Amino acid sequence: IRVGGRWVGQSEHEYNIIYIFVLLLSAWTVFLNLLVIISISHFKKLHTPTNLIILSLAVADMLIGLIVIPVEGIKQIETCWYFGDTYCGLFVIIVRLLLSTSLCNLVLIAVDRYMAVCYSLLYPQKITTTKTLISICLCWFCCSVYNIWYVISNGYFNTSDKTLCYGQCIVLITNAWKFIDLIFSFLFPCTVIITAYLRIFYVVQRQVKVINSQMIGVKCVMEVSVRRKTESKAALTLGIIVTAYLLCWIPFYICSLTKTTAISSTTMTFLTWTFHINSGLNPIFYALFYRWFKISVKHILTFRIFQPLR
């Protein structure tokens, strides 16, 4: 139970600790994703189709850390929504835009890795930097239009209809929009991602068997093997990121869509924060698996990126 803007039985010390946690999580998410953004933006060698999608994902994750996490923290800690009905609608648009854009970027990553692994010879011609940039821009544009339409259609800016829980940012969704959103924000993207990665891992396993059966010391076979290993490692790394996202997204989406009494507020709060924490984990995966990220971060933190090239 909450009284006077905070949970009953919550001491001043606990209250401050929660705020510090939210602040640190926000700063952590912004800082790490900013490193990814600067790395890919600054170094031209990193301007590959795959890295451009990673850049777009990092922008969405950084904005989650900058906007969503602080406001969501205040929303969870305090009793009342202090920012008004208009910003409530805007906040819902921002949250949904960033979440759906992240999911859209993961679809692009899945398609990119599918083409790189399954059609490696056609990949340089089919997946170019220009086509990738156009796809990313379309991703952000379509997600923006869809979520603005979603919010307006559900009457978030019609304050005369808000008779429940005055002072809170309440999300009310019609059954028709629940069905539409279930398809476009859950079933379709998740099906594309899962199908693409199942196909990728099937092809990788098949290629490994073929290469192993032909390892007779031929140089060209060795070169093909190295290239396959590189593409497979990239697919594995991004597969881990996609899997981590889906493991957070699927329970979160199902619970937020149903909102039955069987789901406790504690469970929903846990799923919400687990999902937001995921935005700060992706750069850690890059640091563990991508050598280019380690090198670029070292250049950034030592200010060597400001030195003129020799």
Domain of residue 134 covers 2-306
Is the pLDDT higher at 53 or at 197?
A: 53
List helix spans (H) across the chain: 12-42, 49-63, 69-77, 84-118, 123-126, 129-153, 175-182, 188-213, 219-258, 265-277, 282-289, 291-301
DSSP state of 122: T
Q: How far is CA 200 from CA 119, 197, 230, 233, in A?
A: 10, 5, 14, 12
Closest listed residue to residue 61, CA positions, set 18, 102, 96: 102
Q: What is the CATH number of the domain that holds 58?
A: 1.20.1070.10
Residues 45-95 have pLDDT tens digits of 899 999 999 999 999 999 999 999 999 888 888 767 878 778 888 998 999
- Quote the pLDDT of residue 286: 80
DSSP characters for 265-276? HHHHHHHHHHHH
Question: What tokens were used for 135?
Answer: 């796809």
The helix (H) or strand (E) run that includes residue 6 is: strand 6-7
Strongest mean pLDDT among 88-92, 151-155, 172-176, 217-221 = 88-92
- Quote the pLDDT of residue 140: 98
Amino acid at 159: T
Non-local CB neighbours of 112 within 8 Å, separated by 6+ positions: 49, 50, 53, 127, 132
Q: Are 109 and 136 spatial neighbours (Cβ–Cβ below 8 Å)? A: no
Residues 235-278 have pLDDT tens digits of 677 778 888 888 888 888 877 776 654 566 778 788 888 888 88
Domain count, the chain: 1
